[in-house]
Structures are given as C-alpha cells and as structure tokens.
Amino acid sequence: MITGAGLVDVELANPLDTFAGAGGEASAREFGTLGYSIRAHKQA
Amino acid sequence: MADILELVDVDELRHRVRQKYRDVDADPSGTQHAHHFHTGRAHAVRLGYPSHPLSDLPEKACEAFAGVGNPFYWGGPKPGERVVDLGSGAGMDSLLAALWVGSEGSVIGVDMTPEMLERSRSMAEKLGLKNVEFREGLIEDLPVEDGWADVVISNGVINLCPDKIGVYRQIFRVLRPGGRMTVADICSERPVPEEALRDIDLWTG
C-alpha cells in the first residue's frame, strides 16, 4: 500500500504491545494488533 | 472481500472519531469513562519517546497524548526542517517537532477535531512556539502545498481512515523529493473479517 503510493525503502520496526492493560486489549489480542514505527522515503 | 470504502460509512466513522477525541480532550486520563487506549506522558515514555525534548513539555501538553507507537524511533526531525503531523490530535508530537526543528524550521499539524485544535493552539501559544501552526482538515485531503515537507509524522491515526492508500498518496504529494515519512500506527497480524470492518465500534474502540 505504501509503495503503491510511490514511497520507497519502507521499514517496519519497533513492535509494541500498545494496548496492554488498556480497554482495547481484548480486541488487540483477537487480531494480533501491535503498534509499529514505519519509515519510508520519497525518491530524490 | 468488498472494497473497504463500500463497507464503512465514512461520514459516520469521522463523526465517531471526532466524538472519541472530544472525550479525550474533556477527560484525558479517562477517569469518568475509560478510553480503550492509554494516554499521557507515562504512555509516551513506555512507547520509547526520548526524555529530551519530552521533559521540556508541561504536563498539560502531554496529558491527552493518545499515540500507539513512536514516530521518532529513528530520531526526531533536524533543525531547520519542515514537518507535517497527520492527525495531530492533542498536539504533543507537533510541539516536540517544533522544539527539534527550532526557529529556522516549521511544523504544520492537521486535525479534524476542533477541541483538539484549540488545545494544541493554546499550548503552542503558552510555550511561545511561533514555528508551529495547526490547520483544520482531513488527512485524506491535506491542507498543505505540494512538496512542502521534509518529514511527515503521524501516530495512531492512519488506521482510522478507510482510504489508507489515499492517505499515503497525500503523504507522497506533500513530501519534497528525498523527504521521509516516519509514522507510528497499528498493524494486525491476522486478517480482520468483513463483519468486523463494518463495525464502527471496533474502529473507534
């Protein structure tokens, strides 16, 4: 999806259990949802 | 599976998202009605935000922060850079970016919730930050000129937009050639079934 928009060098890093202990934890567990840092560039 | 834009009532979703963030503005720590996500400075620290310049912000600037990850994992923007913050919400990330880029740089935060824009503008004024402005708008139709930004940041917002490819096209449009996107957002390991995609309650909490 990101490359489909024209961005390049996509990196996904730093998975975090962002909903642990919060009200959304059950839904996050059901779908395997984590928070990520995402980086990409627009070609020079 | 049907196109996601056919499954979700986008206007209703935006209405519910605005309401959710009005609630966060009114009750940042969720003491009256718990939010489904964590908020506040301690949450930002847990996500790995660097202690500096976070420690330069007063509590009021951090209390309604509701991010899901760390857009500054690879470091903050550099002095003099131009930054766009998609879905700037309570404004904490825009304020941090404004401290990083300094007086030679500038930051534009874009959000669709008036209460959050008011909170952000008020805090920028209190901090005396002249290099950050907050614009009302949709991240699918960014009120920013083509090629303006060195960096696009965002935290926990793109997942709330059904038209994600449209958002990434907007990011591409506003970045200068060679510019970068460093965002944080949620991703699911398992496919979300169609009935769940139709359920706006699941989108917003």
CA–CA distance, B100 with B103 (Å, rounded to integer): 9
Q: How many CB atoms lie within 10 A of CB B128?
A: 6
DSSP B196: H
- Subunit contact B190:A32, Cβ cutoff 8 A: yes
pLDDT-based confidence at A17, cuts 50/70/90?
A: very high
Beta strands of chain B (E only): which ranges? 82-86, 106-111, 132-136, 149-155, 175-188
**In Å, how far is A18's CA from the nearest CA of chain B?**
6
**What are φ and ψ of residue B33, in 5° steps?**
-135, 115
Is residue B74 within 8 angstroms of chain A, CB to CB? yes
How do residues B49-71 score in pLDDT, each as one tens digit? 999 999 999 999 999 999 999 99
* Element spanning B167, H or E: helix B164-174
CA–CA distance, A14 with A24 (Å, rounded to integer): 20
**What are φ and ψ of residue A12, in 5° steps?**
-120, 125
Closest CA to B165 of A36, A41, A6: A6
- Subunit contact A42:B70, Cβ cutoff 8 A: no
Is residue B38 within 8 angstroms of chain A, CB to CB? yes
pLDDT-based confidence at B199, cuts 50/70/90?
A: confident
**Does the pLDDT at position A13 exceed 90?**
yes
Is residue A26 within 8 angstroms of chain B, CB to CB? no
Share of residues in chain B with pLDDT > 90 (%): 83
Bridge partners for A42 per DSSP: none
- Coil vs helix vs strand at A15: strand
